[in-house]
Structure 1
């Protein structure tokens, strides 16, 4: 792509939109899907716990919400591969 070689399957990357939580809540989302298929019960438990805490914190004070570093570390440690991403949310839509 653009003269550079990319390996799409080289390293898995997990989507982590926790830092977008205030925007998602302002958009009146009704639910958050935590992908748990082919994941361990420990994965589902940890990820759901982090999101529950973050949602509660964000609901209490959305203007000052900042993801706790411990939450991000937990999600990072549970992610596939060693990377997380905002996916298409890292830039404005055209």
Structure 2
């Protein structure tokens, strides 16, 4: 699996944009350009997009331990999902 973030660039109308991409092992590609007020916000939001896609995937995706949160910035709405995920794997 390949996850990448392209270099943030100025948006033609206003602010900045950054594209986050996931290339799944089966060859599917999921990408989205995310806008932000500045380059750092656009990058952070693109990282959250990738984290959301990975944590909500039908198959578990993890970095080093099966219950980790991938060490990516997470949107607040995923806090419950991450807690449930950790509890599910701790119960095994």
TM-score by length of 2: 0.29
Relative contact order, CA 8 A, sep 6+: which one is greater?
1
Q: Which structure dedicates a bigger proportion of its chain to strand? A: 2
